[in-house]
Amino acid sequence: MKYPLTAPKSQDQRERLLRLLVTATFLIFFQAYMVAPLIPHLAVAFKVSSQTIGLIVPAYLIPYGIGSLIYGFLSDQIGRRRIILTSLLAFVVLTCFTTTAQSASQLIFWRFLTGLCASGVIPLALTLIGDIYPYERRGRPMGWIFGAMAGGMAFGSTFGALLEPLITWRGIFLGVGILGALVLSLLYLQRHLLGNATRSTINNIRDLLATYKMLLGSGRGRRTYAYVLLNGIFHSGVYTWLGLYFQQRYGLGEVGIGLALLGYGVPGFLLGPMIGCAVDRWGRSWLLPTGFAIAGVAAAILMFHLPLVVAAVAVTLLSLGYDMTQPLLAGIVTSLGGKRGGQAMGLNVFTLFIGFGVGSFLFGEVLRLGLSAALFLFAAIVLVAALAAIPLFRSEAPNVVSSSERT
């Protein structure tokens, strides 16, 4: 039996659990990305350079990826419930503590600690979907989860900029912490839906490494995780610095930046479930290359000095490219791990968030050559990847459930 012994049995229970996980996911991504448009403001407030304060992004995302690797493994040993609830509690407490930062280094420290401790929710939410939904029906719930991620990014970026002048950045962190406590309370009341059975036992480090070898040993596993890494590098690299882009290119302030970034996340927030249904019906073989191509074209558009409304539309297309790739790759990952799905998804989120952190850092470094040069380099790489994805993912047709059927 693949599913946890205490997994939701009925459709109503599955949908109730899905709604709670979607809400938690939205809030976590809201917190993660509400700082991106504040980079120019925080640089002035703490009297440091944009590159220095920009480290608050990789300082959160890289530890998040490392933590997800650990929590995915642990969840296979002690169950999903304990990890999800403890990690969400850490998110609430550490988000509130972030308000005490008095310097850039302290803010970076709290972001680092939050990323490391709070990274057990979303990976295990995705793993639970793999536990309780059959492979051919995972597209829609995956679409909801990734739609919540996209919506959190969009609304976090926008309202982070809009609310800062009203309640300060400290007030925003405190408000998110309070909302997180409410979500935690609701999820705790429904904790029986999270499952609590031990699923697998790894007796030594050799068994642990053998699982990773198995995940990366097939061509399907290698190409999937490689594209997860590339996707993280590309999207975080471009997105993290869009606030600075709109400030320098169009002279926008915080409110203007927030509104310009609103389009990022809207496609996933509105269309995520529809994209998921399309995946369930038609498979991933053509949707994945198309998503990468859309993202590359969007980044290329941003290279040019075009009217502001065109740049805002390009940001929306950039988001659509993410929404047509990352949920699909995560769906493949759910079929790779077998009885150790937590470890498989932990490796997925580790790879993605390492890409997020590395991407924001690399784009910041290439930015020394200019905005257009950085956008050109990132766009060119992902467009080449889009072409390569056509033959690499041609086997990802619908109605193929077992990973053993693909190599």
- Say what the pLDDT of residue 383 is: 97
What is the CB neighbour count within 10 angstroms for residue 178? 12
How many Å is the Cα radius of gyration of the chain?
A: 20
**Segments of the chain scoring below 50 in pLDDT:** 1-6, 400-407
Residues 6 or more apart whose CB falls under 8 angstroms from that of 125 comprise: 21, 24, 25, 84, 145
Q: Where are the alpha helices (DSSP H) in 190-241?
A: 205-217, 219-240
**C-beta separation of 88 from 180 below 8 A:** yes
- Say what the pLDDT of residue 3 is: 42
- Say what the pLDDT of residue 339 is: 64
- Say what the pLDDT of residue 143 is: 76
According to DSSP, residue 79 is labeled -
**Displacement of CA 206 from its chain's centroid (Å):** 30
Count Cα neighbours of 24 within 13 Å in the Cβ-side half-sphere: 30
- Say what the pLDDT of residue 368 is: 85
Q: Which CATH class is domain 11-405?
A: mainly alpha
How do the domains of the chain map onto residue ranges?
11-405
* pTM of structure: 0.74
Percent helix, strand, coil in the chain, to 5, is 80, 0, 20
Using alpha carbons only, give the angle 201, 336, 222 rounded to the nearest 5 degrees: 115
- Say what the pLDDT of residue 199 is: 52
